[in-house]
Structure 1
Amino acid sequence: MASLKEVRARITSINSTQQITKAMKMVAAAKLRRAQDNITQLRPYAQKLSQMLGTVSAGAETAAESPYKQARTVGRALIIVITSDRGLCGAFNTNAVKAALLLIDEKYAALARSGNVEIMAIGKKGSEAFQRRGFPVNTNHIDAFTALNFTTVKAAAEEAMNGFASGRYDVVEIVYNEFKNAAMQIVRTEQMLPIVATPVVGSTAAINYLFEPTEAEIITELIPKTLKTQLYKAVLDSNASEHGARMTAMDKATENAGELLKELRLIYNRTRQAAITTEILEIVGGAEALASA
């Protein structure tokens, strides 16, 4: 059985840890509210932008000729993996890394063996995980969460788009955690490039639109903007998911610390009681020995 000093030291240590996890939970909750507002406001815009592009570009020659829609034999792939910069958020980072590895195994295993799968890491945890596994990792954008805004993410999107247009990559995929609520994050895999044609629902394809400026100019402007918004939405989703996962993990850690403290205090009281009983027995025994002497 542990001594009273050892048990007291463990109680003090766990109590300090509990205070830290409780504070981290409160910080994550505050950040989650802001991050949730950001993704909630962007989603309708991103969905409408994508819908508009699908509607306007249906059957348009300009859209078909866009370098971002040119499907070709895949010889080199870019996987954009969005994780966090810090840990202590449960399985958040692990799930994203596992999903990316599963995607590579299922679709690009031969390319990976020949070193033709490159990882663009947004978030330090993803960068570290894939570097350990020997993948070529683009670390130009791992600090995107330091000052998260559209300009920062746009630079990453433009690098991927330019790489695809120049033929450096033949396909670009995004792996990220989609935010549902604080307790639920769903890992998503989306193809960013080449653009997958969106089927036009209903009779919108038969509508004759009046374009101002020209149809070609509108589509030429819409396609890059939609791609950049797609990546920005994924990053905002991942950011909100990170804070939700951390809040949940720290809440659970705080509860576990409380349960452990209860057990340790019970052990402490039992140990103390046993020590007192032993001391009393020793005193009684000594008194009896003196009386019989």
Structure 2
Amino acid sequence: MASLKEVRSRIQSVSSTQQITKAMKMVSAAKLRRAQDGVTRLRPYAQRLTSILANLTRTTTDEVVSEYGVAREVRRVLIIAITSDRGLAGAFNSNVFKGVTALIGQRYANLPRTNISIMAIGKKANDYFSRRDLKLVGDYTHVFSQLSFDTVRVAAEEAMRGFTEGSYDEIVMVYNEFKNVATQIVQAEQLLPLVPTPVPAGTPSANEAANSIDYIFEPSKEEIIRSLIPLSIKTQLYKAVLESNASEHGARMTAMDKATDNAGELLKSLKLTYNRTRQAAITTEILEIVGGAEALAASR
């Protein structure tokens, strides 16, 4: 059985840890509200932009969208892995690593490892994949410390440039999509080439769907699409980063809440052990006193 001093030391240590986890939970809760607001505001804009672009491209010549929409034989791939800068967020980062590994094993199993590149957004992704036999592209470990559209735009432009120059035939994002505080879903979403938006069954044909919307084009439709497509791609990546940011704070808040509860249960167990040890020590002292008194009485 541990001594009273050892048990008391463990109680103090667990109490300090509990205070830290409780403070981290409160900090994550405050950051989560801001991050969730950012995602909520961007989602309607991103969805509307994608919808408008889909309506326009359905009736536009292939030459306009071929730069980012051409489907080539997949020989070289870029995977954009979005994680956090810090840990202590449960399985948040490891789920992305597993998602990338599963994607490579299932979708790109026939490709040589040298033909698969990783763009790591977040320090955890950079640290993890730098120890693997995969090529790292760019340095975007600072994105979350200076999170803004302009910061993410640089990463998106590098990926887009690599696709148009033929360095990559396909670009896929792997990130945690924010559902709620306790739920984050790992998504593997194709960024390039552009995937045509299908017309749901029972709706008008593609041409009718596009022509039914009364757009006034100034300048020409082709010029508008040429400017909207890059903006849409950058917005998609920015949305994924914001989703990951909100998911990180939700995951950390949940993890710290569980850690605080676990520390409380451990404190109860330690205090019970401490009381039992203390009671055993008192009982031993009483027995020693009684035994000594009886021995003294017998000697007389």
Task: State which drifts further: 208-217 or 40-49.
Answer: 208-217
For 1:114 and 1:221, locate their aligned partners in 2 and report how far apart those are by CA, in whole Å. Answer: 34
Matches of 2:149 and 2:142 in 1, distance apart? 13
Decide which of 240, 244, 255 is 1:249's aligned counterpart. Answer: 255
Q: Write the distance in 2 (CA, Å) between the matches of 1:105 and 1:182.
A: 30
Partner of 2:194: 195
Q: 1:270 aligns with which of 257, 268, 276?
A: 276
Tell me the C-alpha RMSD between the 2 structures.
1.2
**Alpha-carbon shift at residue 139 of structure 1 (Å):** 4.2
1:259 counterpart residue number: 265
Tell me: CA distance 1:242–1:114, structure 2 relative to 1, closer, same or farther (3 Å): closer
* 1:245 partner letter: A
Q: Quote the residue 2:116 is aligned against.
A: 117
Contact in 1 for aligned 2:81/2:175 (Cα 8 Å): yes
Asked if 1:150 corresponds to 2:149, the answer is yes
Quick one: structure 1 residues 51 and 129, their matched pair in 2 at CA, closer, same or farther if it must change by over 3 Å? Answer: same
Match of 2:220 in 1: 214
Contact kept in structure 1, 2:28 and 2:250, CA below 8 Å: yes
Question: TM-score scaled by structure 2?
Answer: 0.95
Q: 1:139 to 1:272 in 2, by over 3 A?
A: farther
The one-letter amino acid of 1:242's match is: E
**Mapped partners of 1:170, 1:94: distance in 2:** 27
Q: Matches of 1:65 and 1:23 in 2, distance apart?
A: 50
Farther-moved stretch of structure 1 (124-133 vs 24-33) = 124-133
Matched length: 292
2:113–2:134 CA contact under 8 A, matched in 1? no
1 CA distance for matches of 2:66 and 2:231? 13
Structure 1 length normalisation: TM-score? 0.97
Letter in 2 for 1:25: K
Provide structure 1 residue ranges, at least 5 long, that are not aligned to the other structure: none
Q: Contact between 2:113 and 2:133, CA under 8 Å: does it hold in 1?
A: no
Q: Which SS does the other structure have where 1:66 is aligned? A: helix
1:159-205 deviation line (CA, Å, top 9, x unaligned):
00000000001100000000011111011111000001112353313
- CA apart distance, 1:209: 4.2
The answer on whether the counterparts of 2:114 and 2:135 sit within 8 Å (CA) in structure 1 is yes
Aligned to 2:72: 72
Residue 226 of structure 2 aligns to which amino acid in structure 1? T
1:291 to 274, 293, 297: 297
Identity across the alignment (%): 63
